[in-house]
A = this chain, B = another copy of it.
């Protein structure tokens, strides 16, 4: 019996154990463990990222670019409509498309040349001593397309003006003042070169300012040309330029939008819908008051090299085949142009046109009400292979791979992703600005970040990124996981070699620029909405500043202020695939880096933003401000102590939040606690907004990164106010400097409060 008892006990014990194990592990506790508990605490999946990066394909990128650049696609033209259809087709593809995609129209105020009455630049009473080219020279079939728009300055007013020519360098106030010391500028025409700094859109807004400046001196018209010294590393002959190299041919003309503000000019702060109130055209500010027209350097040479007068200063000289003179005003007596006027006959017309954004989304699984936005504009000036289609090709390749993973059920991001293909960017970031106006509240409340990839590849040397400091760390993380094309190292390491700085926190790291201007569609997101934004591309090596000779096939070391075919009829698929990125490996590197950033922002349990990196940037700005201004302000009885204290408070609260994050086991935390920290990180940039800080500047509300005229790289309101006060010496202007200290102090302290313990 003992044996039987033992057997029974043993059997029982074994069975009991099995039962306990079964009961504990095999039977689900039903509704007591909700499914969402695991989902809510899931972090980014590195294997998904690896797969995603591996799928991004150079051939796809090449074919995207080929398709996008078949015809010129200036905003609202038939070519633009074709790209709208193409984007929609791709984003609505059942196998590789997004959850949904649609178009959104705005009725926007655009400026075009007149097809039947082209703009004319000429010399002589009847205009036939010389006439500038109306079209760029044809080297490839692309330039023959009838849809290639005549070079022009959008928003330059129509008008027929004439006058003696003067050469005014870059048309800065100081340039005109210098001329004005020796010449009577009244009634003259100024020829100027592209370059200089604009507050706003890309590289052309300065020229609106140029014409505004010029008009103050009585100048009646402005010509703008591309100086080969600035763009071609000095090369001027046809045999050395495209199609023989990446350099700009003598007839190439850089188009541009000559306006200072961004967004639709008739509907500031209002989305440009059909019935939206539009300001009277005469109330538009920031556009040229006098006619302006861009020309190529071939034509510029004819004009500049015939000028009379004193030699221009050394820094005004360039690579054209003569010594640049200031003008008599007018031409040399020995010239065939002697005594002749330059005539500008400008026939630009403004029209309201429907411009489309194409929008596409991938719905988030856990936090659908958090958005990561990725965008680029779609419109070009001509074929726009580099600007913007290199970026659009990248965006389409990213959406193809992510779309496929979603359609196959292999992945869905934690947060929602919104893709935007913006319209009418070239005219002044219009599509993106109108979008942010229409959906202001929704986007302000929910957007985690905006990633902008406009021109994705300027050149093949190195990554370039500008960003809110909060985003530095995720860009670093992403770039460390991508191989740099043509090297054996990572994008991150390669970048660090080309462009770096010494960080107090980290030592030597790649240099991430600040988004202080309005160079592309990030402007409305960063400056108007205060959304943590970034702009990513592949770029030149700008370490050298010497005339170089090795120009073919890859232009990495150059002085060119931008890739030379920029905004001309030579920015084509042929140009891009021959000279800019033949293997499309730089496109791929950008797709991988920006795409990796995108997925991390969308999938990370905790947003990969670092507020101590923000503190480091504020500290840097504070240091610059103290060095440049503290003594001057103290002399006027204005203290910088409150600003110093605010930055210190920010540094302390950022460190505190960092510690809280580090000490938290996020996967075990309540989702509401993680959300709380994520909200603190997401809304950090929002805390720097002050809609009344810069009343004169449309859309600039971020008191740290707003555009700045002063050359001191620090808080823009303060820098500009001190600069003005110093020049006028007026008490009321020093008062404004004091006011701007208070504004930025309150913004920084206010942001610090958001990083502190939540209550």
Which residues of A does B touch, CB under 8 Å?
4, 7-9, 11-25, 27, 29, 31-34, 36-37, 39-40, 267, 269-271, 273-277, 280, 361, 363-364, 366-369, 371, 416, 418, 437-442, 445-446, 639, 641-642, 668, 670-672, 675-676, 679-680, 683, 686-687, 690-692, 735, 738-739, 741-743, 746, 749-751, 753-754, 758-759
CB contacts (< 8 Å) of A31 on chain B: these are 668
CB contacts (< 8 Å) of A680 on chain B: these are 369
A363, A445, A758, A759: most-surrounded residue (chain B CB, <10 A): A759
* Total copies of the chain: 2
In contact, A364 and B759 (Cβ under 8 angstroms): yes
Bound CA span A742–B641, Å:
43
Which one, B8, B16, B275, B437, contacts A19 given CB within 8 A?
B16
CB contacts (< 8 Å) of A12 on chain B: these are 11-12, 14-15
Which one, B361, B440, B742, contacts A759 given CB within 8 A?
B361
CB contacts (< 8 Å) of A749 on chain B: these are 438
- 5 further A-B contacts with Cβ under 8 Å, apart from A23-B27, A276-B742, are A18-B19, A19-B21, A36-B672, A270-B739, A441-B686
Which one, B37, B437, B746, contacts A437 given CB within 8 A?
B746
Bound CA span A754–B441, Å:
7
Bound CA span A692–B24, Å:
62
Which one, B437, B743, B753, contacts A442 given CB within 8 A?
B753
Bound CA span A418–B746, Å:
21
* A609: min CB distance to chain B, Å: 15
In contact, B269 and A368 (Cβ under 8 angstroms): no
A-B contact pairs, 24 of them (CB 8 A): A4-B7, A11-B12, A11-B15, A15-B15, A16-B19, A19-B19, A19-B22, A21-B23, A23-B23, A34-B37, A36-B670, A37-B37, A40-B672, A267-B742, A270-B743, A276-B742, A361-B759, A363-B759, A364-B759, A371-B759, A437-B746, A438-B750, A441-B686, A445-B686
CB contacts (< 8 Å) of A37 on chain B: these are 33-34, 37
A20-B19, A672-B671, A738-B277 as given contacts; A750 in contact with B11, CB under 8 Å: no
CB contacts (< 8 Å) of A739 on chain B: these are 270, 277
Residue of B nearest to A276 (CB): B742
Bound CA span A668–B33, Å:
10
A19, A668, A738: most-surrounded residue (chain B CB, <10 A): A19
Bound CA span A36–B416, Å:
26
CB contacts (< 8 Å) of A743 on chain B: these are 270
Which one, B33, B442, B670, contacts A750 given CB within 8 A?
B442
* A57: min CB distance to chain B, Å: 28
In contact, A438 and B672 (Cβ under 8 angstroms): no
Sort A-B residue pairs by CB-CB distance and give the 6 closest, nearest first. A19-B19, A23-B23, A23-B24, A441-B687, A36-B670, A20-B23
Which one, B27, B276, B439, B676, contacts A24 given CB within 8 A?
B27
Bound CA span A106–B497, Å:
51
Which one, B23, B25, B437, B670, contacts A40 given CB within 8 A?
B670
A271-B746, A753-B441 as given contacts; A668 in contact with B34, CB under 8 Å: yes
* A311: min CB distance to chain B, Å: 48
* A38: min CB distance to chain B, Å: 9
In contact, A19 and B23 (Cβ under 8 angstroms): yes
Bound CA span A4–B416, Å:
65
Bound CA span A274–B745, Å:
13
In contact, A679 and B23 (Cβ under 8 angstroms): no
Residue of B nearest to A366 (CB): B672
Bound CA span A356–B151, Å:
64
CB contacts (< 8 Å) of A371 on chain B: these are 759
Residue of B nearest to A641 (CB): B275
Residue of B nearest to A749 (CB): B438
Bound CA span A118–B16, Å:
94
In contact, B40 and A742 (Cβ under 8 angstroms): no
Bound CA span A751–B11, Å:
69
In contact, A672 and B367 (Cβ under 8 angstroms): yes
CB contacts (< 8 Å) of A418 on chain B: these are 759
* A706: min CB distance to chain B, Å: 15
CB contacts (< 8 Å) of A758 on chain B: these are 368-369, 416, 446
* A377: min CB distance to chain B, Å: 22
In contact, B11 and A439 (Cβ under 8 angstroms): no
* A28: min CB distance to chain B, Å: 9
CB contacts (< 8 Å) of A267 on chain B: these are 742
In contact, A750 and B15 (Cβ under 8 angstroms): no
* A106: min CB distance to chain B, Å: 13
Bound CA span A536–B313, Å:
74
Residue of B nearest to A269 (CB): B692
CB contacts (< 8 Å) of A690 on chain B: these are 269
* A9: min CB distance to chain B, Å: 8
Residue of B nearest to A640 (CB): B275
Residue of B nearest to A35 (CB): B670
CB contacts (< 8 Å) of A34 on chain B: these are 37, 668, 670
In contact, B27 and A20 (Cβ under 8 angstroms): yes
* A642: min CB distance to chain B, Å: 5
In contact, A33 and B33 (Cβ under 8 angstroms): yes
Bound CA span A675–B674, Å:
12
Which one, B23, B39, B668, B759, contacts A368 given CB within 8 A?
B759
A441-B751, A759-B368 as given contacts; A672 in contact with B675, CB under 8 Å: yes
CB contacts (< 8 Å) of A687 on chain B: these are 441-442
In contact, B438 and A754 (Cβ under 8 angstroms): no
In contact, B441 and A642 (Cβ under 8 angstroms): no
A23-B22, A32-B33, A670-B671 as given contacts; A438 in contact with B746, CB under 8 Å: yes
In contact, A671 and B671 (Cβ under 8 angstroms): yes
* A5: min CB distance to chain B, Å: 9
CB contacts (< 8 Å) of A639 on chain B: these are 275
* A152: min CB distance to chain B, Å: 30
In contact, A369 and B676 (Cβ under 8 angstroms): yes
Bound CA span A418–B759, Å:
9
CB contacts (< 8 Å) of A751 on chain B: these are 441
